């Protein structure tokens, strides 16, 4: 790898990091928007007509109503999008392309013993992405990982003054969480996932707070995940507990696009990439399973011998 190319990868790494922060913030903003849109759903149900909305609530409300309707139509039938995405988005269409959460699909299969075509079709894109790029959902979509990203920075700051252990668990623990979640779901219904999956816990917390002005029980679950991250290890929840991350990591265990190392320029005394990786991936020894292609290690490598591309054979 020439020095010009090396410098380029440093920039690409920073670019990916910025992009991942940007896209996750976008998803977070969308969750907030959907929660605010519950008023739109009421108007739609009550009037279903922009002119009537203006007569009853004034011109600004009509503009907001029309704008909300056209924005939500990017994701499907507007009223249904708001109704079915209240903090727990099992499946959504983006510009006509269906996306289904794989855990939601498993949950539906376990409870109702049948799949619909729409669920099966909705799995095609997320599973293909996971197969090719691994856990990119974690770095570019999951809004909870944004909170964990911030928490890991807070933990890093606190570590300058206090000692925090770095607990490690077997990766199989998350499979246990998935199996346990499915069993509990059979008794208590699908809503249990708002306590188990961090991104549902976050979505539910936001939705309840904005739409109803109340604190959901999922907020306690989210708080617990954040606390675990601070006390037990950077992104502890994502590394060891979240079933979605484990499932996507397993699907993408031979991901085609991942982190690559130029061994000739790697320093024996260095382990920066391993230390910085939020998901415990170890690029130093060419272990790439669970990589979310977030770019953090590329940014920090002192010799810039890391890059992103097709898996090394």
The residues that touch ligand SF4, with contacts defined as CB under 6 A, are 137-138, 142, 144-145, 198-199, 238, 242, 244-245, 259, 261, 266-267, 270-273, 276-277, 279, 281, 283-284, 291-297, 301-303, 305-306
CB atoms inside a 10 Å sphere around CB 130 = 21
Kindly state the smallest distance separating residue 269's Cβ from ligand SF4, in Å. 8
Q: Three-state SS across the chain?
A: CCHHHHHHHHHHHHHHHHHHHHHHHHHHHHHHHHHHCHHHHHHHHHCCCHHHHHHHHCHHHHHHHHHHHHHHHHHCCHHHHHHHCCCCCCEEEECCEEEECHHHHHHHHHHHCCCCHHHHHHHHHHHHHHHHHCCHHHHHCCHHHHHHHHHHHHHHHHCCCCCCCCCCCCCCHHHHHHHHHHHHHHHHCHHHHHHHCHHHHHHHHHHHHHHHCCCCCHHHHHHHHHHHHHHHCCCHHHHHHCHHHHHHHHHCCCCCEEEEECHHHCCCCCCHHHHHCCCCCEHHHCECCCCCCCCHHHHHCCCCCEEEEECCC
In the complex with ligand SF4, which residue's Cβ is closer, 44 or 234? 234
Smallest separation (angstroms) from ligand SF4 to the CB of 202: 9
Whichever of 53 and 123 has its CB closer to ligand SF4, that residue is: 123
Closer to ligand SF4 by Cβ: residue 23 or 272 = 272
Minimum Å gap between C-beta 292 and ligand SF4 is 4
| Residue in the shown chain whose Cβ atom is closest to ligand SF4 | 245
Task: Kindly tell me which of 41 and 305 has the beta carbon lying closer to ligand SF4.
Answer: 305
* Cβ distance to ligand SF4 smaller for residue 37 or 100: 100
- CB of 43 or CB of 266, closer to ligand SF4: 266
Rounded Cα distance, 230 and 240, in Å:
14
Shortest Cβ 70–ligand SF4 spacing (Å): 30
In the complex with ligand SF4, the residue whose CB is nearer, 46 or 191, is 191
Closest contact distance (angstroms) between CB of 24 and ligand SF4 is 9
Q: Looking at beta carbons only, is 64 or 228 nearer to ligand SF4?
A: 228
Q: How far is the CB of 136 from ligand SF4 (least distance, A)?
A: 10
Instruction: Output DSSP code: residue 307.
Output: E
State in angstroms the smallest separation of the CB of 311 from ligand SF4. 12
Query: Can you tell me the distance from the alpha carbon of 165 to that of 233, in angstroms, rounded to the nearest whole number?
Result: 7
Smallest distance from ligand SF4 to CB 270, Å: 3
């Amino acid at each position: 790898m020439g020095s010009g190319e090396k410098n380029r990868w440093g920039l690409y790494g920073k670019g990916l990091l910025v992009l991942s922060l940007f896209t996750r913030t976008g998803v977070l903003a969308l969750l907030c928007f959907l929660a605010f849109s519950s008023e739109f759903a009421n108007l739609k149900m009550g009037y279903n007509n922009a002119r009537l909305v203006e007569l009853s609530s004034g011109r600004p409300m009509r503009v907001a109503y029309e704008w909300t309707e056209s924005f939500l139509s990017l994701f499907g039938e507007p009223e249904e999008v708001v109704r079915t995405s209240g903090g727990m988005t099992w499946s959504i269409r983006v510009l006509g392309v269906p996306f289904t959460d794989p855990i939601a699909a498993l949950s539906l299969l376990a409870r109702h013993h049948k799949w619909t075509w729409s669920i099966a079709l909705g799995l095609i894109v997320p599973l293909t992405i996971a197969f090719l790029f691994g856990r990119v959902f974690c770095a570019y979509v999951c809004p909870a990982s944004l909170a964990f990203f911030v928490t890991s920075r807070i933990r890093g700051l606190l570590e300058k003054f206090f000692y925090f252990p770095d607990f490690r668990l077997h990766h199989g623990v998350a499979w246990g969480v998935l199996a346990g979640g499915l069993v509990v779901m059979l008794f208590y219904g699908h809503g249990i996932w708002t306590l188990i999956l961090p991104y549902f816990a976050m979505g539910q917390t936001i939705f309840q707070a904005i739409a109803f002005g109340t604190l959901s029980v999922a907020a306690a679950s989210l708080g617990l995940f954040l606390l675990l991250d601070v006390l037990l290890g950077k992104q502890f929840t994502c590394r060891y507990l979240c079933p979605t991350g484990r499932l996507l990591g397993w699907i993408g265990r031979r991901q085609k696009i991942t982190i690559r190392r130029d061994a000739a320029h790697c320093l024996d005394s260095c382990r920066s990439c391993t230390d910085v990786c939020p998901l415990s991936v170890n690029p130093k020894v060419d272990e790439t399973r669970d990589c979310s292609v977030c770019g953090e290690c590329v940014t920090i490598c002192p010799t810039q011998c890391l890059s992103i591309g097709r898996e090394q054979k």
